[in-house]
């Protein structure tokens, strides 16, 4: 059972509890958003199922763009420091948030992480959420952009099976395209499925392992920057 939203409760109780939890969360998220805006920090919430490649994409992104502006990471997992240790080896500032039985980060956890991390003014802040295609979509953290990562090893139908996650995405990254010759995945059909649940979502197909088309991801990040600052596209 999710320790935060009480997923296994009676349906009526679940709805009431969810409304109260989300209302409190949204209030805290608004405080986080103001706090980030005051310091011109752009926060991007990365969400996916486990194993889609969030950490690998972050490692490459930090190495490719970290010299251009300060980068910091909030790592969310139920247990262990494994992903935070991977990020720390890139030289990037990182703080780990372990949720225990919880299946997502929330705004209160985010506020605590900001206190501990204290990212520099003008930073690009990545939030690697707990691997889950359901609950993270419900909880605003105060971020400036939501990114959903799906890998070609997961199946073409993920946007249809988990529509709310894809509906909230500003960007969908289809990762591990280097494996397309070896898996049963229809990229064109996946794009159509994403457009069905979220016509406004941008979609990029990349390989975080080989670096194929990651410039499209960096270009999207550049567009998320506050007035007066940007991350130039790789190679510029």
- Work out the number of other CB atoms within 10 angstroms of the CB of residue 19: 10
- Tell me which residue of 135, 151, 141 sits closest to 108, measured CA to CA: 141
The sheet with strand 93-98 has its strands ordered as 93-98, 71-77, 124-128, 42-48, 145-151, 171-175, 202-205
Per-residue pLDDT of the chain (236 residues; tens, 9 = 90+): 454 555 555 565 556 656 777 899 999 999 999 999 999 999 999 999 999 999 999 999 999 998 888 999 999 999 999 999 999 999 999 999 999 989 999 999 999 999 999 999 999 999 999 999 999 999 999 999 999 999 999 999 999 999 999 999 999 999 999 999 999 999 999 999 999 999 999 999 999 999 999 999 999 999 886 533 344 343 33
Domains, the chain, with CATH or none: 11-223 (3.40.50.300)
pTM of the model: 0.88
- Tell me which residue of 170, 101, 163 sits closest to 140, measured CA to CA: 170
- Say how far apart CA 140 and CA 100 lie, in whole Å: 19
């Amino acid at each position: 059972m999710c320790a935060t939203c009480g997923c296994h409760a009676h349906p009526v109780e679940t709805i009431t509890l969810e409304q109260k939890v989300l209302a409190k969360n949204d209030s805290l998220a608004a405080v986080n958003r103001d706090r980030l805006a005051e310091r011109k920090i752009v926060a991007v919430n990365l969400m996916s199922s486990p194993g889609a490649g969030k950490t690998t994409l972050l490692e490459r992104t930090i190495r490719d763009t970290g010299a251009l502006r300060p980068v910091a990471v909030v790592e969310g997992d139920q247990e262990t420091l494994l992903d935070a240790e991977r990020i720390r080896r890139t030289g990037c500032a990182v703080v780990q948030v372990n949720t225990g039985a919880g299946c997502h980060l929330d705004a209160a956890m985010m506020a605590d992480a900001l206190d501990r991390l204290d990212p520099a003014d003008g930073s690009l802040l990545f939030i690697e959420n707990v691997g889950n295609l359901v609950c993270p979509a419900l909880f605003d953290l105060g971020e400036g952009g939501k990114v959903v990562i799906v890998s070609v090893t997961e199946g073409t139908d993920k946007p249809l099976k988990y529509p709310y996650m894809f509906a909230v995405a500003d960007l969908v990254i289809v990762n591990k395209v280097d494996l397309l010759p070896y898996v049963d995945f229809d990229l064109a059909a996946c794009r159509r499925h994403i457009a069905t649940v979220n016509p406004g979502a941008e979609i990029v197909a990349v390989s975080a392992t080989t670096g194929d088309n990651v410039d499209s991801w960096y270009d999207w990040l550049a567009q998320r920057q506050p007035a007066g600052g940007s991350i130039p596209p790789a190679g510029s």
